[in-house]
Amino acid sequence: MHMWVEYEGKEETPIENARVKFYQRDSETGEGSFQPPKIAFGDVMDSFWQGFWNPMPGVRKALLLFGLPALVGLRLIWFKRRKEP
């Protein structure tokens, strides 16, 4: 989930602007409205890269990339050994 507050003088960013609002409430009437967000996939990936991937420690990156294949490989090895008479 991601939310932000608008205030006077706030600069828009690729992921925080009027086009990507999913839900908004009118400050004068109090009415809420929904709209499908209009955001480019590249903007989402850039945000992910800058916010999550770059600051992530190298060990965590390795676990993320190689952890699942390693677990699947270990499971296959264990399954084969279990089947052998």
39 lies in the same domain as 26: yes
Confidence label for 1 from pLDDT (cuts 50, 70 and 90): low
pTM of the entire structure?
0.44
Residues 36 and 72 placed together within one structural domain of the fold? no
Contacts of 38 (CB under 8 A, 6+ apart): 19, 20
Q: Give the pLDDT confidence score for residue 56 in this predicted structure.
A: 92
| 63-78: pLDDT as tens digits | 989 999 999 999 999 9
Same domain, 63 and 81: yes
Residues whose CB is less than 8 angstroms from the CB of residue 45 and which lie 6 or more positions away in sequence, other chains included: none
Pair (71, 50) in one structural domain: no
Domain extent at residue 81: 58-85
